[in-house]
Chains A and B, each alone.
Chain A
Amino acid sequence: MPARIPNAGLTRRDLLKRTGGLAAIAAFAAACGGNTGRPADSGGGGGSKVNLTQWYHQYGETGTKEAALKYAKAYTDSNVAVQWVPGDYGAKLASGLLSSSAPDVFESQLNIAMVKSNQVVPLDDILGDAKDDFNPNDLKTNTIDGKLYGIKMIDDPQVFYYRKSLFEKAGIKPPETVDDLIAAAKELTTDKVKGLFLGNFTGAGGVNISVAGPSLWSSGGAYLTEDNKPGFNNERAAQAFSKLRELNQSNSLLLGAPADWADPGAFVQGLCAIQWTGLWAMPGIQKALGDDFGVFAYPKLDAQGKPALPSGGWSEFVSAKSANVDAAKAFVKALWVDNQESQEDWNLNYGFHIPPRKSLAAKATKLQTGVAAEVVKLNQDYGVVDLPAWTPTMNTAFNDMLTNVMRKGADPAAEIAKADKTVTTELSRLFG
């Protein structure tokens, strides 16, 4: 076939000109675009009020986003635009904080790198008399060198949820030691249901093994000692990590579930008999399973150990880059210090969280009965709060170590030594 020359009144030159022009316009348009998520500066209606942006990670529970928008709208001293960030929140926040479109107010967990690189401002002055009303642990986890950088919004303990009916059928009790846990997981595994779900061990935000901390703490170890040295380079920690290897090899772990461990999906769909997840998931579980479930902490390694669970959560911070630091601080004070009604709503009406304010926690009736009360009690007895000195670099090294031991069968002592080296280097960089 002879090649056809495009005709229709267009010469090749014309065609090139037109398409080239279009492409040039497209390139310009692309370069000029950019939705920073901020409210327009010159938009009417706001008067002389300043504009603030507030970032949240994507909470899984229904109604949370609407609630966040509602709080922002109710605040009248500034115009607050809420950004609800899906996906890898940690990464997006970290790069967002470097750019000019950084949020003024954001939720996160404090780590010392944020302070060293001047990303956050101290918030001691907005706390005032309310300081005594905050749980001391929630202040501790947000304090570096005596300065408070974050206001705790919610406390999120994580525990094992188990199906009571399946336990009764198999004639077993909630595990007291890690060995009991391994035995129970094996016992409860059938061709339809796996014994235990600890997570899929995949994920864009880094593969944090859900029970990494608890397994270490259950042996009596810690991420860092009081004087900021690695607290996991010992024989008992190696033993604790070997138990996770044993669990991994027991063919009783659920892997590749549609939703990861932070979501109760696998548990309520009956894919597993025991699942590790947070207190936040309890309303969903209650709705699906009624009272056919119970909770227990990560069991102690042996008689010398103790049960453990992470008492995590989210805190609100003010970006040091904000053009309106004072207005941002005023907003944080209004929402997370003064406005107890919103705090109560946020903590109890969607997922369950323990309010960091003692006065609110005391009157949180939803957490005072049944299984929720058990979690609160476990949290008081065994909860371990986040350490601000434990940076993402250290956490990655620790989880890599654990992945190698648990999932690849590497020698615990050798892997611990490698993680120890990374953590020590990082510590000396941070503390000299």
Chain B
Amino acid sequence: MSSGSATKAAKAPGRGKVAAGSKKRKPGGSGIHGNTFWFWVFVGPFVIGMLVFAYLPILWSLVLSFFEAQNTVTPSNFVGLQNYIDMLTDRNFLSSLGTFSIFALFIVPLTFALSLALALLVNQVKIARAFFRSVFFLPTACSYVVASLIWKLSVFNGVRFGLANTVLGWFGVDQIAWLSSIDPPWYWVPLVTVRLWLQLGFYMILFIAGLQRISPTLYEAAYVDGARPGWQIFRYITLPQLRATSVAVLLLNLIAAYQAFDEFYNLIGNANYARPPLVYLYSISLGSIQDLGRGSAGALILAVIIMVLTLLQNRIFGFGKAND
């Protein structure tokens, strides 16, 4: 590893020279003008895309949130803060925030712990490393919708010939209506497992990258100092060294949990017992109700909550500190 970085460092100045030389050789497009031109050629389409498909809708959503906008995107009846008041007193919206919190409580620590464990295991494997990495990473390539449908129609089908119920049947357990049962809330099992299956591989790769950045000299020094392999090494060397990766994984995880939509929408639909904020907002603004005013107000409230939480988390864990 160290030799690798040395080679890079040695080559770097040379590459710089080549680059500078090639710039001089170019007849047209030299200097600032050329650079600006190419900057806009490359960046322009994306900036336009962002403006048209992200910023404009956000802005328009802000406008809509102050109007009574049912079945229209060009409303005329200004209602001030009424939509915000409606949403903040809407028990369905509040309970959807509750649903999300429960979901995050399950999914964030579970994904974190399991993907770290997987990364440690796969990283230790001596043979067929690439195979194991790919095998665990593959589900990430699967669409949430497709996975949800497989979960719903085959694995966690509520009748006796569903996969999970067949397995339970071998042990004499009665069939369970996985997605429809509220008491006990079995629906969390499919919801959490489908996301784990889809996400674990991705976070595992992040952790493997983190693990490979830890210098072996640290481990050697620890052995010399008498640290025992296993828990002690993990607790005092691996985990602290993974700090930057861990913070990133936690942050990404939390945001992903807030954005949960696909598997809830496809597995449960718009049921008021397991409805995260996005599914609820979708149903009032884009579903058959079409109340874009209240929907926009709710979306902005949600955006503010995500922003505050992210900032808070940043304060506690600190992205900046992670770099030391």
Partner of A202, one of B46, B180, B291: B180
Q: Are B71 and A396 in contact (CB under 8 A)?
A: no
20 A–B contact pairs at CB < 8 A? A1-B4, A5-B11, A13-B19, A13-B22, A24-B41, A24-B44, A24-B45, A27-B45, A94-B286, A94-B289, A98-B290, A192-B160, A201-B180, A204-B269, A205-B270, A256-B157, A256-B178, A256-B179, A400-B272, A404-B272
Q: Are A393 and B179 in contact (CB under 8 A)?
A: no
* Residue with the greatest number of chain B CB neighbours at <10 A, chosen from A24, A27, A98, A204: A204
Considering the chains assembled together, what is the distance between the CA atoms of A27 and B49 in angstroms? 8
B73: CB under 8 A from chain A? yes
Q: Are A256 and B158 in contact (CB under 8 A)?
A: yes
A206: CB under 8 A from chain B? yes
Q: Are A2 and B8 in contact (CB under 8 A)?
A: yes
Chain B residues contacting A63 (CB-CB under 8 Å) are none
Chain B residues contacting A113 (CB-CB under 8 Å) are 70-71, 290
Cβ proximity bits B243-266 to A, threshold 8 Å, 1 near / 0 not: 000000000000000000000011
Cβ proximity bits A328-359 to B, threshold 8 Å, 1 near / 0 not: 00000000000000000000000000000000
B42: CB under 8 A from chain A? yes
A74: CB under 8 A from chain B? no
Interfacial residues, chain A to chain B (CB-CB below 8 A): 1-3, 5, 11, 13, 20-21, 24, 27-28, 31, 88, 90-91, 94-95, 97-98, 113-114, 116-117, 119, 191-192, 200-207, 254-258, 266, 271, 391-393, 396, 400, 403-404, 407-409, 418
B240: CB under 8 A from chain A? no
Interfacial residues, chain B to chain A (CB-CB below 8 A): 3-4, 7-8, 11, 18-19, 22, 41-42, 44-46, 49, 52, 70-73, 91-92, 153, 156-160, 162, 174, 177-183, 265-273, 283, 286-291
Chain B's closest residue to A191 (CB) is B174
Chain B residues contacting A2 (CB-CB under 8 Å) are 3-4, 7-8
Chain B residues contacting A13 (CB-CB under 8 Å) are 19, 22
Quote the shortest CB–CB distance from B51 to chain A (angstroms). Answer: 12
* Residue with the greatest number of chain B CB neighbours at <10 A, chosen from A94, A98, A202: A202
Quote the shortest CB–CB distance from B82 to chain A (angstroms). Answer: 11
Question: Assuming A117-B72, A256-B156, what are 4 further A-B pairs, CB within 8 angstroms?
Answer: A3-B8, A98-B73, A204-B269, A409-B183
Q: A117-B72, A206-B270 are in contact. Are A256 and B180 (CB under 8 A)?
A: yes
Q: Are B289 and A393 in contact (CB under 8 A)?
A: yes
Q: A257-B158, A418-B91 are in contact. Are A392 and B289 (CB under 8 A)?
A: yes
Quote the shortest CB–CB distance from B153 to chain A (angstroms). Answer: 6
Considering the chains assembled together, what is the distance between the CA atoms of A116 and B4 in angstroms? 71
Q: Are A393 and B291 in contact (CB under 8 A)?
A: yes
Chain B residues contacting A95 (CB-CB under 8 Å) are 286, 290
Chain A's closest residue to B41 (CB) is A24
Considering the chains assembled together, what is the distance between the CA atoms of A246 and B323 in angstroms? 59
Chain B residues contacting A407 (CB-CB under 8 Å) are 182-183, 273
Chain A residues contacting B18 (CB-CB under 8 Å) are 11
Q: Are B265 and A204 in contact (CB under 8 A)?
A: yes
Chain B residues contacting A31 (CB-CB under 8 Å) are 45, 49, 52
